[in-house]
Amino acid sequence: MLASYAAMSGYFAGNREQPGQNEQSGPKQTKRQLAVAALGRIEPCSEIINIGAGFSPDRLESLFVARGDVVKKDQVLGYLGDYAEQIAQRNMYRAQLEEAKLRLKTEVELDRSRIESAEINKRQVLEVSPLRIAAQKATIESLEAKLANDKDILNSQVQLFDRGVASRRLQQDMQAAEAQTEANVASARARLAELEHQFEVDKTDAEIRIRVARAQLERAQAEFPIASLEAQVAAAEARANRLTLFAPVDGRILNIKIKPGEDVSSGPVLTMGDTSLMRAVAEVYETDIARVQIGQTATITSRALPHPVTGKVVRIGNMVFKNDVLNVDPAARADARIVEVWIDLDDPTLTERLTNLTVDVLINTQDANAALARSGQP
């Protein structure tokens, strides 16, 4: 194994070009173009995620995870200092909301009962009063018929009295009966007028009662601030969520930078990433990037790995950066210009606990050179 690493290290030392170094011609150039060597690092495919408290300074109240813990998406990782206060405020608004809903329910039921009572009263007025009026009209018709009969009898008695057949006493009794019947008819007509007038008044009163009951219902619904209390509950919930540290993805806790009780600024509280899928990020010199293509195979080695790991180039960067991974060779340049190349690993299990591990990357460009040779391009 040591001999294998020594051979691989010698290969990297002989093939990694320094920036600005001119390529040689001849057989050595052809051999070099079979691969591109670069330094790189290991990271999760999700990249390293910094979880912080935003721009609001606070104190870390509690933390429920430790380095290396596996977490699920949306899992609560910890709380900031004002979280308990926001939860208490939210619970207060919820209690006020429940009380307002209960009172509103009671008022609504009462007002609906009033509306129902007013509608029943209106229906009674519309159904019963006409029957009373009709009965009174029938009574008047009966009294008028009796009055007509009394008048006919009285006329007959007057004629008989003039002939001396009937007595004065009988004539006077008939006159009194006629007068009584006329009085009854007048009283019945007055009662009819009273019933008709009362019917109109009762209809108007029934309509007013219904409108008043409905207005009371609308006022009760407007008086209780249900919508504003619901908005306050939602706002308090949102503030509490901002004071809660959630896991944005499934992954592993990589580092904890702030412990409970310490102040939190704009920096991260902890870092995490999805280590179930790992990749290598190679820093390829800008002079070599033209030979790297998507789909090429790569070999990743490190003294921390039991054996080399293979992978495939899946993405090539579009910007030139200063190198972040520094070579241990003191003669190597520390300000080299590089392009990042992302390589998915065939076996990510060997590196899932080695985030930011510095590795040597060898990208095989032989297939690309063979394709150029067949096409006749230089």
Domains of the chain plus CATH, in order, are 1-45+277-378 (2.40.30.170), 48-80+244-273 (2.40.50.100), 86-229 (1.10.287)
What is the rounded CA–CA span in Å between residue 309 and residue 295? Answer: 16
Helices (H), the chain: 2-15, 27-32, 83-162, 168-223, 226-242, 366-375
User: In degrees rounded to 5, what are phi and psi of residue 246?
Assistant: -110, 150
Structure token digits, residue 102: 């209960």
Q: Which residue has the tokens 């009026």?
A: 133
Q: How far apart are CA 31 and CA 102, in angstroms?
A: 84
Number of neighbours of residue 134 by Cβ within 10 angstroms = 12
Residue 249, SS3?
coil
Cα–Cα distance between 9 and 18 in angstroms, integer?
16
Q: What pLDDT score does 310 carry? A: 94
pLDDT, position 8: 45
The phi, psi pair for 152, rounded to 5°, reads -65, -40
Which pair of structure tokens corresponds to residue 257? 């930078």
pLDDT reported for residue 374? 43
Instruction: Give the pLDDT of residue 75.
Output: 94
Three-state SS at 148: helix
- So what's the pLDDT on residue 170? 74
Residues of the chain with pLDDT under 50: 1-32, 328-333, 369-378
| CA–CA gap between residue 150 and residue 84 (Å, rounded) | 97
The answer to whether 90 touches 229, Cβ cutoff 8 Å, is: no
Specify the pTM: 0.56
How many whole angstroms separate alpha carbon 111 and alpha carbon 311? 75
Residues 6+ apart with CB under 8 A from 274: 44, 45, 46, 249, 250, 251, 252
- Transcribe 47-106 into DSSP letters: -PEEEE-TTS-EEEEEE---TT-EE-TT-EEEEETTHHHHHHHHHHHHHHHHHHHHHHHH
